[in-house]
Amino acid sequence: MSVNDVCVAAGVTKGSFFHHFDSKEHLGEAVLEEFWQSVQERQDNAAYRNALTPVARLLGYIDHAIDTYQSPALRSGCLLAVYVSELKETHPDLYQKCIPHFLSWKSDFVSLLQDAAAQMPSNAELDTAGWAEFYISTLEGALILSKALDDPQVITRVLTLYRNQLASLL
């Protein structure tokens, strides 16, 4: 897609475009940052943050995702995943800007898992990094499959299965 295509789709002149952005890549960066900001705001304002126990916070996080992705606008896909899968070869700088967001997401989920795991019997062990990666890949895969099958309930079914499997360990 050319800058001209973007301008036509947005109903703006090239002059207006270049007043705000030096290139399509800078537009892509702005879109990525706006997307990530909205993700962070949804998480910061989510009810699970007020849960009384670490396990309730962790399970509430997953419940929040199930509820959030009932929105047609959000279940259409994750911009972060699209950028990573589509831009590595063609726009490596923009691709690289995605990696810290994935790492932040993983780190936040690992923290929730570690807090919940601390409540487990001392002889039990939970691979928090593995469960965090499993969650991210489960959610991203569910979004893709839901879109491919035109079945929004895929997201609910898959995340509920993940939640129940994780809860059985805690």
Q: Each residue of 47-82: pLDDT tens digit?
A: 999 999 999 999 999 999 999 998 888 777 777 778
Asked if pLDDT for residue 95 goes beyond 70, the answer is yes
Please give the pLDDT value at position 21.
66
As a whole number, the mean pLDDT across the chain is: 85
Please give the pLDDT value at position 59.
97
Question: pLDDT higher for 70 or 14?
Answer: 70
- pTM, to two decimals: 0.82
- CA within 13 Å, CB half, 116: 24
Query: Residue ranges of the domains in the chain?
Result: 23-169
How would CATH label the architecture of 23-169? Orthogonal Bundle (1.10)
- Per-residue tokens: 49: 């943050």
Question: pLDDT higher for 43 or 166?
Answer: 166
Separation CA 19–CA 50 (nearest Å):
43
Separation CA 101–CA 78 (nearest Å):
12
Please report how the helices 128-149 and 79-87 are oriented relative to each other, as an axis angle in degrees rounded to 10: 90
- CA within 13 Å, CB half, 65: 25
- The tens digit of pLDDT for each residue in 115-154 reads 999 987 765 688 999 999 999 999 999 999 999 999 999 9
